[in-house]
Structure 1
């Protein structure tokens, strides 16, 4: 009987400890689903666009603007529509290595890129001769400096192995504001973990509940609500990992469009 009592007490302690840990995680703005891990290697193809300066990669369909000042640099790629997934692929991180081509560098070096743009279909070209990003092709149109880390640029196109990997970001989530006091459009950047966003909510300091934001395009979400004059918090869920984070009081009550606001939280 004493042994059963001790076992029951130990079980109770473990349950309480787990509940406290979950509570602390919730208080810190995190939910705790399984972490996102690297996927298996798969076959695709890669080309490049722009020149060595990567100036032509600035902006892009994900809406990240200046990729240098926003932390993405030249390690980026435009995804074919299959991978872009109507913008839900924005921010995802991949490792690529050139395979089965005389243009591959010896040792098959691996480079990492972040999805920042869409490589649109070109229906005027055959999918195997110029229409590289036509569905259902899986294709990476890389910034030239990123392509040159795995293959000689004069190859034009090479087969690659690729896999999804967790995004490791320094600092917290960043929110770039557009719109006005009645329509807020937010671009989410510097996303860790799965790198992507599935859903997003906003809450003003004068509001009782969260307002659901709809997906606009790329990495942007919008809310049609009166939010002027309120400090703003955001709740986000990752498309890949399903992890949810809450970024409290990201923007002050006197927030303005055209500015970017930073949070202390990020996805794992």
Structure 2
């Protein structure tokens, strides 16, 4: 005799197959496949880069830079030495009746930090971010969208999705007379930045190198010149934002430029 599936399980399978439940289309018009990983969270009252505005991506205050409360630190297997910064992940808690919320709701988070390995501890007892584990250390707000607060570590399914950002890319300029550094935030589409070039009114296009996270740097004095930027995303698409900063720009100022469009 063939038994029928419970109604809630049938609905969950149908929604998963249709890509519904918080999923956002990738730039290639499809959806990335679900992968298995694990997730933990950091309590909001603890001093931690996810909450105090720091983090390995260099974003500073996450609210100012529009990343809000739904953020995550990634293990080394996912972080890619900063290449994953700004990327968006949809995830849901699975296969843990005691820890997961009913019906496996999803949440979309932005990668804003690195979760370092702790090789002195076993994988399931504090070494959650040990290589080659694919682990997401969520903000408390994000974790509570998919799992119960009493759970310490839960199995999850996750996938890369496109980032939905309001407004243009943001360029925060720092440096000195000897070098220029720019922090790039609020990136739509795949959310990542793979390469950057800068151009002054008296220069050609100058390649910038990743200093750390999403801080990009070149050894040039471009003071007194309007600045344009060429930004290449993680999936190879390039956007050129002309005259982002006027000639009288100053260090520590933030300017808004052209955005990736799906």
- Tell me which interval the TM-score lies in, with the shorter structure as reference length: 0.7 to 0.9
SS of aligned partner of 1:222? strand
- In 1, Cα distance between the equivalents of 2:167 and 2:155? 34
Question: What is the 5 A alignment of 1:245-256?
Answer: 245-256=239-250
How far 1:167 sits from its partner (Å)?
0.7
1:168 to partner: Cα distance = 1.1
Q: Give the gaps of 5 or more residues in structure 1.
A: 1-33
Contact 1:169 1:192 in 2 (8 A): yes
Q: So what's the TM-score if we normalise by structure 1?
A: 0.83
- Runs of 4+ residues over 4 Å off in structure 1: 52-56
- Is the aligned partner of 1:259 residue 2:243? no
Larger helix proportion, structure 1 or 2?
1
Q: In 2, Cα distance between the equivalents of 1:71 and 1:120?
A: 24
Q: What is the deviation of 1:181?
A: 3.2
User: What is the match of residue 198 of structure 1?
Assistant: 194
CA contact (8 A) 1:36 1:166 kept: no
- 5+ residue gaps, structure 2: 1-26
Specify the structure having the higher radius of gyration (Cα): 1
Pair 1:243 & 2:241 matched = no
Q: Cα offset for 1:182? A: 2.6
Q: Distance in 1 between matches of 2:29 and 2:210?
A: 22
Partner of 2:226: 231
- Which residue number corresponds to residue 63 of structure 2? 68
The count of residues paired between Structure 1 and Structure 2 equals: 233
Does residue 213 in structure 1 map to residue 208 in structure 2?
Answer: yes
Aligned to 1:163: 159
Residues of 1 paired with 2:47 and 2:108: CA distance?
Answer: 16
Looking at structure 2, the residues matched to 120 and 250 of structure 1 have their Cα atoms a distance apart, in angstroms, of 35
State the shift of 1:56 in Å. 4.9
After superposing the two structures, state which structure 1 stretch, 155-164 or 253-262, moved more: 253-262
What's the secondary structure of 1:51's corresponding residue?
coil
**How many angstroms does 1:152 deviate by?**
0.6
Residue in structure 2 matching 1:176, options 168, 172, 176: 172
Who is 1:21 aligned against?
A: none
For 1:222, the equivalent position in structure 2 comes to 217
TM score, norm. by length of structure 2 = 0.85
Displacement of 1:126 in angstroms is: 1.6
